[in-house]
Structures are given as C-alpha cells and as structure tokens.
Amino acid sequence: MSNKSPKILVVDDLPDWRTTIQGLLNDEGYQQIKVAESRTAALKLFESETFDLAVLDMRLDETDEGNTDGLTLAQEIRQTWPQTKVIILTGYGTPETQELALQPDRKGRQLTEDFIPKTKSVELIAAVQRVLKQLPKSNN
C-alpha cells in the first residue's frame, strides 16, 4: 500500500456489521473508510467522492426477498464508476448468487472482484489486500 490510504466504502444495512467490517479494515491500517446503510445512501456518497473499493452486503434490506440488492448496487457502481472495485459480502449466499456476483457485465468486465461469506473475516482482509494491490499506483 502506498502512502495514500485507499478510499473504501462499506455498505451494510445492519449497524453491527458496518462497525465490524470498518473495525477489521481499520485494524489492517486502512483509514479512509466511509459507511452507508443502504443503496441510496451509498449512491449519495458516490455523488460527492470517489472510492477505490466498495465492500457491499448482498442483502441491503430485510425486504430484499431475493437477497440481491447488493448486486444491483454493484451493477450501478460498475456502470457509473467503473474504476471502483467491488467485493460482495453475504450471509445469504447460494451458488446461484455467487455465480451472479462473479459473472461479467454487459461490457465483459467482471461484476465483482470477490464473493465472501460474512463470517470469513480472514478471507475478506485477503481479498481487500489483493484487490487494492491491483489498483494503479496513482489511485491508491
């Protein structure tokens, strides 16, 4: 990681998970972390700043019966802010949702960089480090 800390957005509808993920990232030395509780709040943050990485919960609302609001947000991020990398976290993962998360978008770009169960904090940190190492030096 360079001297400038990458900007990370954590999006989860549950306050405890937002705090946990932010704490894990802080413990690894990442300091520029913003949190959002919903798709709408995340998009509002994107209007005023850019992020190197977005860590999104797959299910962003209890009314999300398909448990795919995070994928919808990932698609919006990819279309509007293609430089932002995305990692999906979930407690509701299935092989089908994992396949959706890791499939290419309409332009052939992979939708997300990784798909990780929420309980796998070591995997999350490893994925964050791997993704951020791949960023161009001028971005991070």
pLDDT digits (tens, 9 = 90+) for 13-59: 999 999 999 999 999 999 999 999 999 999 999 999 999 999 999 88
- State what percent of residues in the chain have pLDDT above 70: 81
Q: Are 110 and 102 in contact (CB under 8 A)?
A: yes
pLDDT digits (tens, 9 = 90+) for 79-121: 899 999 999 998 766 667 667 767 776 677 777 888 898 888 9
Please, which residues bridge with residue 86 across strands? 54
Q: Where do the domains of the chain lie, and which CATH numbers do they carry? A: 7-133 (3.40.50.2300)
Q: Are 86 and 75 in contact (CB under 8 A)?
A: no
Q: Are 21 and 117 in contact (CB under 8 A)?
A: no
Does 140 score more than 50 pLDDT?
no
pLDDT value, residue 2: 42
Does 139 score more than 60 pLDDT?
no
pLDDT value, residue 1: 40
DSSP letters for 22-88: HHHHHHTT--EEEEESSHHHHHHHHHH---SEEEEES--STT-TTS-HHHHHHHHHHHH-TTSEEEE
The model's confidence at residue 75, banded by pLDDT at 50, 70 and 90, is confident
Average confidence (pLDDT) over 48-72: 82
